[in-house]
């Protein structure tokens, strides 16, 4: 009985070992996003609408880089971390002169805040103003 069990374990482990070296699935080719054709046959109203939409998306992206809203999860002197969504956190750096409204408020875990400042290349935010909402 033990030899059968040992034989089965050997075959099973060899099967797992060979599947680890098998060729992976080929990578899926990305689907190109639709764009407006460069020809003059595009309706001017459609072209204008696409341009307005592009500007709105750029402004929203810039707003997301320079602002944040969330719940305080960590605060100590000039370091702050907020939770902006499920399993989504953002590091915030405070400096001398960062306004915390209402004045005199000490930030604590669980407070909901709106932060305005300068977005950094690493995704963090240098805060200029922090408004406590709750």
- Looking at every residue in the chain, the average pLDDT score rounds to 79
* 72 falls within a domain: yes
Could you give the C-alpha distances from 8 to 17, 18, 21, 22, 97, in angstroms and in order?
Answer: 14, 16, 21, 21, 70
What tens digit of pLDDT does each residue of 104-113 get? 899 999 999 9
The number of folded domains in the chain is 1
* 103 falls within a domain: yes
What tens digit of pLDDT does each residue of 62-99 get? 777 888 999 999 999 899 999 998 998 999 999 999 99
* 128 falls within a domain: yes
CATH number of the domain that residue 94 is part of: 2.40.50
Domain span including residue 119: 67-132
- The residues, any chain, with a CB within 8 Å of residue 75's CB and separated by 6 or more, are 81, 107, 108, 109
* 19 falls within a domain: no
* 117 falls within a domain: yes
- Stated pTM of the model: 0.57
């Amino acid at each position: 009985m033990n030899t059968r069990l040992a034989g089965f374990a050997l075959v099973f482990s060899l099967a797992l070992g060979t599947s680890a070296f098998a060729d992976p699935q080929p990578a899926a080719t990305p689907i190109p996003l639709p764009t407006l054709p460069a020809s003059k046959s595009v309706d001017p109203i459609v072209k204008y609408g696409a341009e307005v939409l592009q500007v709105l998306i750029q402004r929203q992206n810039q707003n997301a880089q320079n602002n944040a809203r969330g719940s305080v999860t960590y605060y100590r002197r000039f370091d702050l971390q907020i939770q902006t969504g499920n399993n989504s956190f953002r590091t915030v750096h405070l400096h001398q002169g960062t306004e915390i409204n209402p004045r005199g408020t000490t930030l604590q875990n669980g407070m909901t805040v709106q932060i305005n400042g300068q977005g950094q290349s690493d995704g963090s935010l240098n805060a200029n103003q922090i408004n406590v909402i709750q």
